[in-house]
Amino acid sequence: MAFDIEMIKEVYARYPERIAAARKAVGRPLTLTEKILYSHLSEGTPSQAYERGKSYVDFKPDRVAMQDATAQMALLQFMQAGRDQVAVPSTVHCDHLIQAEVGAEKDLNKAKDKNREVYDFLASVSNKYGIGFWKPGAGIIHQVVLENYAFPGGMMIGTDSHTPNAGGLGMVAIGVGGADACDVMAGLPWELKFPKLIGVKLTGKMSGWTSAKDVILKVAGILTVKGGTGAIVEYFGEGARSLSATGKGTICNMGAEIGATTSIFGYDEKSAAYLQGTGRADIAELANGIAAHLTGDDEVYANPEQYFDQVIEINLSELEPHVNGPFTPDLAWPISKFAAAVKENGWPAKLEVGLIGSCTNSSYEDISRAASLAQQAVDKKLVAKSEYTITPGSEQVRYTVDRDGFLDTFGKMGGVVLANACGPCIGQWARHGAEKQEKNSIITSFNRNFAKRADGNPNTHAFVASPEIVTALAIAGDLTFNPLTDTLVNEEGKSVKLDEPKGLELPTKGFAVEDAGYQAPAEDGSKVDVIVSPTSERLQLLESFPAWEGTDLKGLKLLIKAKGKCTTDHISMAGPWLRFRGHLDNISNNMLIGAVNAFNDSTNKVKNQLTGEYGEVPATQRHYKQHGIGTVVVGDENYGEGSSREHAAMEPRFLGVRAILVKSFARIHETNLKKQGMLALTFANAADYDKVLEDDSIDILGLESFAPGKSLQVVLHHADGSSDTIEVNHTYNEGQIEWFKAGSALNLIKAGL
């Protein structure tokens, strides 16, 4: 169930030779990131030094992990690939479709009933193709992976943007779309532009209220939501070695919020302790045997500016707890300045709900430190002024913290334990009263806080902090409370102060669980039937997208010109729409309904050039499709930021959008668009965004000679008869151009088989 020790032995066996060859190829010492990447090249030892940020390279990952919302589309695609079994170890985790409402048991039972056909499909397709299946209630994909599958020096791809969580155990773990996962499961290499490298040197040691979460909250403030785009972030230094493995996982997890390809820590004593504590002492023993290869070379860390493209240094001894937000995870406030920011900006100071847990912060250490504050509230006769919820990361963590009394402690404080699932973090939260859209504040230990993400209310000011700070503020019920300096008045009218939180990295009695929730696949899946009803509203077998016509694209209409932040949540919302993640036609009814139209500052209201009327984005696009007219979507900076969901690429492709033209793309979304046969284009001159007008018809020229590094031309035909011709760029290599010509990457796979 947990891991394939023989596969790990094979990975480690090739490390000495490949790393030696890599050092020779590049002519210098290597970072940890480079060691792992070079050791996972799909074609043997490196023969060249790849140019960071420019060279496309093929890799051979060791594992694939999928969560239930994205696994549906990934596996529907894999079913078309013609293989009897997956080519690499793969797992499915049922964590996204469980809605938080009243409590763990009732919510889980309701989800099992409501999502039965989806779970039956995922279980049956996993059973047939040799995929491990983690049942609903088993836990959140990233926590389960960290406990069972992550190993130092490995490479994994996962169909969720927070896959980098496994970097806490020294694994290059990268979030991808389902089409990428399909390729790897089909036995093909996985392609990635060789990343730039950002080094983060951690000195000193944390104490008191500061936690690992505060490291990434600080880094997010430095780099912003796109500062890590195209780069892998490698943490090192004495401060890095002082952090627990799960604390490192927290930092790597939320590295997705700076746009990083992934984040990673080297193997050390804390890594070994976690492996041993989770029943993987044999992996720790293997890793100890090649420990020098599972961290960067000494020369690199002694002179990091010579080997990284950018270096950041943070002294953990001086790091304050942070609160980030609202509405974006990179608006970083040290706790000493947060109260003033709340007052100056007019954010609601009254805290309605505090939520801890999620894939980012649900380890034993997180829960135990938060529980120490909850116990103080009980002992010091403090009544929590805010609602308070706890989301365990896995059944193993939940069972263990329950055994050790922490859940009872939270209950005494008024806390509600939710199911081992994503829940409110991804909008799977039936928050009562959210429909009133009242201005309010919540604080979470999650990773994202985009507008409307948690509860659908655009006026919910969501802030992100560590579980300790969330718990303290929930007790106070006031965002302006600073637990490091301020006091609270208890039920007896006395002023009391919260002491520093305390916890344990690992349980002293060890982890325990009765049923972890794992289901092994059939040894021979040839007789297993995949369950998909032809009348289902939630599942739909896929049909191939059409190939390119072989000509330039002319007479396209502008569908929408998106203004400002346009994340994958804006392009394909989660929440109630998760139920359609396996039905491309139905989920396409949410396409771009959250994007702000630059011409009227409204969402889901665009002009239909055929009728002159304004309507919803999906309906307008369907009208164009009925008339055989393709369209273009225009966007701003970092378009497609956020989740790895490829639905944000598949929906426009399915409905007839031909190109996405933006100032810049988030990495995963750009790749997803390419995989689905879309044109992902960027303005050569960002100011040309302003030339796009509401009634434009658009030509895309130069496709008949489409080639790597060669720009295309876009002609904007305006309603007054004038036109503008602008230059647009792309990052397609030769193989990706073939995806476009074939209509999708999957079409090429099928043709090859």
Helix axes 245-254, 141-148, angle to 10 degrees: 140
The secondary structure of residue 602, as a DSSP letter, is -
723-729 and 712-717 strand pairing:
antiparallel
Are 465 and 321 contacting, i.e. CB atoms less than 8 angstroms apart? Answer: yes
| Residues shown for the chain | 753
Closest of 34, 137, 47, 148 to residue 91, by C-alpha: 148
Are 455 and 127 contacting, i.e. CB atoms less than 8 angstroms apart? Answer: no
- Contacting residues for 508 by C-beta, under 8 A, at least 6 apart: none
Token reading at 301: 């860390």
23: left (phi over 0), alpha (psi -120 to 50) or beta: alpha
Rounded Cα–Cα distance for residues 714 and 726 (Å): 5
* Bond preceding residue 326 cis, omega within 30 of 0: yes
467: left (phi over 0), alpha (psi -120 to 50) or beta: alpha
Residues 283, 285, 290, CA angle at the centre, nearest 5°?
95
Rounded Cα–Cα distance for residues 635 and 657 (Å): 13
Token reading at 248: 């490192």
Task: Provide the annotated active-site residues.
Answer: 95-96, 160, 448, 643, 645
Are 245 and 169 contacting, i.e. CB atoms less than 8 angstroms apart? Answer: yes
Collapse the DSSP code of 267 into the 3-class scheme (helix H, G, I; strand E, B; otherwise coil) and give the result: coil
Rounded Cα–Cα distance for residues 557 and 694 (Å): 9
Collapse the DSSP code of 520 into the 3-class scheme (helix H, G, I; strand E, B; otherwise coil) and give the result: coil
Are 471 and 374 contacting, i.e. CB atoms less than 8 angstroms apart? Answer: yes
Distances (CA, A) of 362 to 144, 371, 687: 11, 12, 44
